[in-house]
């Protein structure tokens, strides 16, 4: 009986120490490569912009990033900072200011109105009109810059 208990204990211990197992979803996902960059609007860093890379190749996969106050961003596909899959990408960028009820307002007593205002031309958020593209290359420094302006 003591040997059975010992074997059971060892089996549980070895299973717990073997580390995370790789599931089918994790194993089958495409390889990603780090991508960082900067986005500006009218020559100034664009804070709180959402940058989306949509692959144009055989594997439809999106990568997303959010710019900081200096306009810097890092893309994520599956995990923080993992980047995007290799190949050509169509790029969209949006930067929305959202206004809602005043702070402290009793939401039961007012009509809630949410106002969203784009801080950049809306074309940059449309994959067919943005005109933005990027190429992600394996094993290279994938650093991109997007200098946005009012479209004429």
pLDDT (tens digit per residue) in 20-66:
556 666 777 899 999 999 999 999 999 999 999 999 987 789 999 99
Q: Decide: 64 and 73 in contact? Cβ < 8 Å.
A: no
Q: Say whether pTM exceeds 0.75.
A: yes
Q: What is the CA radius of gyration of the chain?
A: 23
CA nearest 93: which of 25, 56, 145?
Answer: 145
105-141, pLDDT tens digit by residue?
787 777 777 889 999 999 999 999 999 999 999 988 9
Asked if residues 73 and 65 have their Cβ atoms less than 8 Å apart, the reply is yes
Longest CA span, the chain: 83
């Amino acid at each position: 009986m003591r040997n059975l208990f010992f074997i059971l204990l060892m089996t549980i211990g070895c299973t717990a120490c073997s580390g995370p197992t790789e599931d089918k979803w994790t194993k089958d996902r495409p390889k990603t490569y780090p991508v960082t960059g900067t986005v500006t609007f009218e020559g100034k860093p664009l804070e709180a912009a959402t940058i989306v890379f949509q692959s144009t190749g055989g594997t439809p996969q999106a990568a997303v990033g959010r710019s900081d106050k200096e306009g810097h961003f890092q893309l994520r596909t599956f995990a923080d900072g993992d980047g995007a899959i290799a190949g050509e990408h169509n790029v969209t960028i949006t930067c929305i200011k959202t206004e809602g009820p005043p702070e402290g307002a009793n939401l039961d007593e007012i009509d809630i109105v949410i106002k969203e205002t784009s801080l950049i031309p809306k074309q940059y958020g449309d994959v067919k009109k943005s005109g933005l593209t990027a190429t992600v290359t394996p094993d290279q420094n994938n650093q991109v810059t997007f200098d946005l302006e009012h479209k004429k």
